Every structure is written in C-alpha cells, then in structure tokens.
Amino acid sequence: MERESFLRDRLIPIGTVIVAIVAIWYVAVIFLNAPFERDTAARNGETITFAEIVPKTMAQERPVLPAPHQVAAELWDTTVNKAVTSKRSLVYHAWVTLSATLLGFAMGTVLGILLAIGIVHNRAMDRSLMPWVIASQTIPILAIAPMIIVVLNAIGLSGLLPKALISTYLSFFPVVVGMVKGLRSPEQIQLDLMHTYNASSAQTFWKLRWPSSMPYLFTSLKVAVAISLVGAIVGELPTGAVAGLGARLLAGSYYGQTVQIWAALFMAAGVAALLVVIVGLAHSAVLRRMGARA
C-alpha cells in the first residue's frame, strides 16, 4: 500500500515533469541551434534539410543551448573521469565554493538568530532595526558584491572571508524573519501560563519561545543555505577567481563554452539540493528529539 502510494504521489508525478522538461529542452535545442547549421550550409553553398539539421544541433561544440546528453557527458567527465584535486574537476570547484558557502551560512545563521532575539525582546530594536533588515535586501547583490570585494582587498582581506561575508549578507535575512515569527509564535495563553509560574524572561525563552521557533528556524535555514551558495558564487565573479563554480561559469562565459557553463550550473543546483536535504534531515532529527510524532 505504501509502495503504491509512493508511486502514485511521488514517483509518477515527478517523473512525468522531468520527462516533459527534457522533451521541451530537446525541442528548444533544435530550434536555437538550427540557425548556425543553416548559416554554415549557406556559406558552403550547400542545401541542408531539417532531417540533417536535427542531429547536427545535438552535437555542436559551442551550441547556443547544449543538449541534455551533452551536459550529462560534461558532468560525468568533470566529476568521475577527473581527479578531485584537478583544476578541471567540478568536484574541486564545488568544494572551493562550498567552503565559503558553509562559513557564510554559519555566520549568517548566528547573526540572524541574535538579531531576531534582540528584535523580539527589545521594542526599540523592533521599530528601528527591522526596517533596516528588510531594506538591506532591496540592494541587488550583483551591485554590492564588487564593492565588498574591493574594500576588503584594500585592507588586506582576500580569499575565503570576502566570499563568506557576501553569503552572510544574503543568508541572515531569512533567518531573522523566520526566527522573529517563530519566537513570537507562542499564544498569549501560553505566555500567561509561564507568567503564573513566575518564570523569568530567560526561562520563558528557553522553555517556550525557543522550542516553538524550531519549525520556523529550519524552514528559514533551507532558504538561507541555498541563497548562501548563490552568494558564494556571486562573490567569485568580480574577483577573477581561478577556482570555484563562479570561476568556472566566468571561464565558460569568456570562451563561449556553453556546455561548461550548464554543467557548472547543474553542479551548483545539485550542491544546493544536497544542502537543503541535509538541513531537512537535521530538522527531522531535532523534531524527533523534541518528541514530535512521525
């Protein structure tokens, strides 16, 4: 019964969507890459039919849109066939980006939680700081990242920390918003009950507000860890970095290697998905530890 439910509710719908996306992708490959083949045939004084165009669009060296099998082959070649220490390995580049991501995510999480605690417990911070927290996210990260990198390089800070700070800038916001909502989630009757117990503010926080905020915290962390990866990638672009997924994207853009660009994008998506899954598993473990029913 559970197996049938899994097939009906999970596997079949997800599989159908994936097949549809791949089919649309292949159709787009034909139409976007076909003009190059027609132009090539015209320059050579040849006449080319649609049946001859289709296979050629699937095997171009620098296509406008690479085919799924080209991206898959590039991913296999740069992850399995290359040593993880090689500068051509996507595993190596993913680790360089992941290190900045995790550091920025950790700093953003701590900063977000501390700000949320202050906002919840201090009315002045709530009225003065919260609007600035929201306003900070209206500045495009592509505009502010080069400034952060240049300023930090001017004072002698380079390498991992500048990229991590950009990840921190992006990841602290969902944590602040989620934790403010979570710490305020206990109902007034629950707060009144703690008051009748003569509980201090610290006791109310640890025994009521903090446990009540866990679902909000981990939901925010799923968003924060994914956006932290985006911040690390963006942080690699203005530095002219030679390692990292951002550097891989930049090199592919310089030399028109669209297959390399798409492979790096899929690698970044896979890393982000893995990080979200890890946060989800941690969420389930914490809820079980707190006595939640499966």
pTM: 0.83
Question: Which residue bears the tokens 């040593």?
Answer: 83
Digitized pLDDT (tens) for each residue of the chain, 294 residues in all: 556 666 666 778 888 889 999 999 899 988 888 888 888 888 888 777 888 888 888 888 888 888 888 889 888 888 888 877 888 888 888 898 899 899 999 999 999 999 999 988 888 888 888 888 888 878 777 777 777 777 777 777 767 788 888 888 888 999 999 999 998 888 888 888 888 888 888 888 888 888 888 889 999 999 999 999 988 888 877 665 677 788 888 888 877 788 888 998 999 999 999 999 999 999 888 888 877 654
With vertex at residue 101, the alpha carbon angle to CA 97 and CA 102, rounded to the nearest 5 degrees, is 125
- The region, left, alpha or beta by phi > 0 then psi within -120 to 50, assigned to residue 236 is alpha
**C-alpha–C-alpha distance, residues 3 and 6, integer Å:** 5
Question: Which residue bears the tokens 């530890």?
Answer: 289
- Paired tokens of 164: 């991590």
- Paired tokens of 75: 């991913």
Helices 90-121 and 245-255, packing angle to 10 deg: 130
**C-alpha–C-alpha distance, residues 233 and 142, integer Å:** 11
DSSP assigned state of 89:
-
- C-alpha pair distances (Å), 287 with each of 90, 106, 168, 181, 263: 35, 21, 26, 18, 36
The torsion angles phi and psi of 219, rounded to 5 degrees, stand at: -65, -40
The torsion angles phi and psi of 32, rounded to 5 degrees, stand at: -80, -30
Q: Comparing C-alpha atoms, which of 154, 97, 156, 143 is closest to residue 238?
A: 143
pLDDT in tens, 76-133: 888 888 877 888 888 888 898 899 899 999 999 999 999 999 988 888 888 888 888 8
The rounded Cα 207 to chain-centroid distance in angstroms is: 33
- Paired tokens of 284: 């389930």
pLDDT in tens, 16-27: 889 999 999 899
Measured from the Cβ of residue 138, the count of other Cβ atoms closer than 10 Å reads: 6
Question: Which residue bears the tokens 């979200």?
Answer: 276
